[in-house]
Amino acid sequence: MAGLSEDHACGWRDEAEKLRSELAAREQREAQQTQLIAGMQAQLEKLTRHVFGARSEKMTPIAEELRKKKPRTHEETLAERRAKREARSELPTEVVHHPVAPEKRHCPKCGSEKLKPLGDGKSTTVYEYVPAKLIRRIHVQETLSCTCGEGIVTAEGAPKAIEQGQYGPGLIAHVVTAKCADSIPLYRQAKAFARSGMPVNRTTLGDLFHACARATAPLSERLLQLIVQEALVRADETTMRVQAKGATRRAWLWTFRTEKLVAYQFSPTRSGDVPRDVLGESQGYLQVDGYTGYNAVTAPLHRVRVGCWAHARRKFFDAQTTAPEAREMLDLILQLYEVEYEAKEKPEEHLALRIAKSNKVLERIRGWLDDHRPKHPPKSPLGEAIRYALGQWTALTRFLEDVRIPLDNNASERALRPAALGRKNYLFVGDDAAGERTAGLYSLVATCEENGVDPQAYLADVLTRLATHPQAQLDELLPHRWQPS
């Protein structure tokens, strides 16, 4: 009986151990499923918030949060109003005189008609919109002949923006600006031209657009070369659709920029070959997000990688739905921007303020990350946000080294917004070559806007000058150095 009991006991122990193993495996599977469901729920809420959410449910821009905590001073408000008045005062002015009607040209008191002007009269300023107009301009070249009957002299004709073109540089510049700056697709422009009395096929507009891109390609290529020479380059990328047989395929538009120069690069893929081809072995800083495609140019002896606090902040914002404590991190990140706001009033103390104040905030942020890391599964929304911030920590703290380094890479994201909006409007480009030409024109238009230059006036001018301008002086025609002819 004893032996039998012992056998039974061994069997029960084995069975219990087996049940414990199965229970542990089940609990592990349930934990994984719970984590997966939480992640999917967070993604669904993020998408729903992005598409259908009210403005209050979307991430508030840092600048808006700072305005709430640190309202503008009275002097800043007055300066903004003064700048608006000055800008409006430079508009073309037309004075319209309104004489007193004949039946009212008498004194309302005594009835006398002996009236005289009182000062300059009463004036009211009204801002009016005068629609653009299309004109047909006929160029007549004077032709002279000699009395000898053989010699003939003909005046120079109007400079042509493109060879064999009957469309002037102003019209071509308008087409490019409308598409690249205002995201108006060519078929909508064709409708507008038709309303103005000049029916033109959108295929013709496409030909003009790409002819302009080919003519100005040396300028857009030179822009990229100048950007690569800078100590701080910021980069980002977004998708672009390309027409394919029976469908479209995905390609990529990259932006590489400095404070005042913006260039774009088209690529059929998101491969790291693009930043390698563009930046080569140049040195300095490169501010990007966590995408590994930039690793090839941020290796030792190349560019030093700089992180983006806006990307990190966005991940913590999205994690709030499943982990409300993420709000604590958002408040800490906001403190970094408060230091930058303070530095605007004390630019000579900018780096000192970062070292004295931002450094302490970073210590609190790092402590929070280390404290909360073991509390959240790595694949949960907050776990992923924490893992991203810790993985990018060295890059995120680079701004302490150089006052020129901004906290975030929002400038690159802003540079891609016209392309993103254009993608929704014109949907796709015809082929890879069209994508490359579009990227070149985006570069010139965006750099014009960064430097306060009207891209339409700029393009209309340089299109007539490129053919005869000395190649050695090409930089004179770049948007940030351009002077009207």
Using one digit for the tens of pLDDT, what is the confidence trace for 435-476? 999 999 999 999 999 999 999 999 999 999 998 889 899 999
48 belongs to a structural domain: no
pLDDT digits (tens, 9 = 90+) for 269-286: 999 899 999 999 899 999
pTM of the model: 0.81
134 belongs to a structural domain: no
Count H helices and E strands in the chain, helices first.
16, 7
What would the two tokens of residue 168 be? 């002037």
Cβ count near 165 (within 10 Å): 15
| Banded model confidence at residue 55, pLDDT cuts 50, 70, 90 | very low
147 belongs to a structural domain: no
List the beta strands (DSSP E) in 282-399: 284-287, 303-306
4 belongs to a structural domain: no
Number of domains in the chain: 1
369 belongs to a structural domain: yes
321 belongs to a structural domain: yes
Buried b (16+ CB within 10 A) or exposed e, 215-245: bbbebbebbbeebbebebbbbbbbebbbeee
State yes or no: pLDDT of 1 exceeds 60: no
Q: CB–CB of 376/316 below 8 Å?
A: no
| Banded model confidence at residue 57, pLDDT cuts 50, 70, 90 | low
Q: Which domain holds residue 385?
A: 308-406
Q: Look at residue 78 in the predicted model and tell me its pLDDT.
A: 82
348 belongs to a structural domain: yes
State yes or no: pLDDT of 50 exceeds 70: no
417 belongs to a structural domain: no
